[in-house]
Amino acid sequence: MNDALLIPSPTGSTRLYAVVGDPIAQVQAPTLLNQLFAERGIDALMLPVQAGAADFATVIEGLKRIGNLDGLLITVPHKLAVAAHADEQSLTVALTSSSNALRRQANGRWLADNFDGAGFVAGLRNAGRDPEGWRVALFGSGGAGNAIAVALLQAGIDRLDLFDVDRSRAARFAERLEQYWPGQVRVLDAAQPGEVELAINATPIGMQPGDPLPFDLEGLAPRTLIADIIMKPAETRLLQSAAAKGHAVQPGIHMLSSQLGLYRQFFGLDPAQ
């Protein structure tokens, strides 16, 4: 416990939050949010809660009934299991089936939302890059990739090109997006971005040292921004190669760090609201 963050011990008036995952050892949310609570004098505590897949339903239902617990963050491997425990869900959750945040609303009903995509877009904006009107190529149609797709379309991008090695997975998701953003989504046949302002890696390719590039950097305009959602390593081979070719890059940490403010708002803990 070097450099341990010191926070007030919880009392009967403290509002509780929990991040639920398995494993839980790596989660950053308790330290990051508890620091924020301490700095702002908010009487709240974010806990790490470890629950395996077999126990998830029982744990979630138990946590939801705790009177002084107001919200949950959900991480691997439970993001697809959350929506079944919510009374209401955001459009992002409805489209992606994936949720990473749950809160009790004033009426007592639990709302599921997903901030992976909104965190990514907030990360762009925090770096002074508003994606409105952009053309975007997105590689990887898993939970995080799909959440980013929805958030970018909600943020007003012009066109989204999707690629996944499982082409039918990308196609099924594109069909769902088509209902809300007709004519704006295409499925790519190869891991080759066309003329875009932003190309994003939302695949796990790049986590291992020997991994190839998740998509081809050849033929991209130098002004194309290259983003990766991988956080370990902080600088993937994709980002290194892109930077070497003169591209601006956005590393994965921005997606997480930009989610903190969104959680704070979602949980109603933002004094500015």
**Binds a second copy by CB under 8 A, chosen from 44, 51, 144, 260:** 51
**x/- map, 4-43, a second copy, by CB under 8 A:** xxxxxxxxxxx-x-----xxxxxx--xx--xx--x--x-x
**Binds a second copy by CB under 8 A, chosen from 40, 53, 66, 109:** 66
**Binds a second copy by CB under 8 A, chosen from 40, 44, 53, 61:** 61
**Residue 60 backbone dihedrals phi, psi, to 5 degrees:** -60, -45
Q: Give the separation between CA 16 and CA 212, rounded to whole angstroms.
A: 43
47 touches a second copy (CB under 8 A) = yes
Residue 54 C-beta: closest distance to a second copy, Å: 9
Q: Give the separation between CA 229 and CA 233, rounded to whole angstroms.
A: 10
Residue 222: count of CB within 10 angstroms of its CB: 8
Residue 58 C-beta: closest distance to a second copy, Å: 5
**Residue 211 backbone dihedrals phi, psi, to 5 degrees:** -60, 145
**For a second copy, which is the closer residue by CB, 3 or 218?**
3
Nearest-10 Cα torsion for 164, 165, 166, 172: 20
Residues in contact with a second copy, counted by CB under 8 A, come to a total of 45
**x/- map, 232-251, a second copy, by CB under 8 A:** --------------------
Extract the tokens encoding 188.
Answer: 């790519």
Residue 164 C-beta: closest distance to a second copy, Å: 31
108 touches a second copy (CB under 8 A) = no
Applying CB under 8 A, the span of 2-10, 149-157, 200-208, 259-267 interacting with a second copy comes to: 2-10
Q: What are the DSSP calls for 217-235, one per residue?
A: -TT--TT-EEEE---SSSS
Q: What are the DSSP calls for 24-59, one per residue?
A: -TT--HHHHHHHHHHHHT--EEEEEEE--GGGHHHH
Residue 247 C-beta: closest distance to a second copy, Å: 35
Residue 7 C-beta: closest distance to a second copy, Å: 5
Q: Give the separation between CA 138 and CA 187, rounded to whole angstroms.
A: 10
**Residue 190 backbone dihedrals phi, psi, to 5 degrees:** -145, 160
Residue 36 C-beta: closest distance to a second copy, Å: 11
Residue 223 C-beta: closest distance to a second copy, Å: 40
63 touches a second copy (CB under 8 A) = yes
Q: Give the separation between CA 264 and CA 245, rounded to whole angstroms.
A: 37
Q: What are the DSSP calls for 110-175, one per residue?
A: EEEE--HHHHHHHHHHHTT---TT-EEEEE--SHHHHHHHHHHHHTT-SEEEEE-SSHHHHHHHHH
**x/- map, 69-88, a second copy, by CB under 8 A:** x-------------------
Applying CB under 8 A, the span of 50-58, 82-90, 236-244, 262-270 interacting with a second copy comes to: 50-58
Name the residues that contact a second copy, by CB under 8 A: 1, 4-14, 16, 22-27, 30-31, 34-35, 38, 41, 43, 45, 47-52, 55, 58-63, 65-69
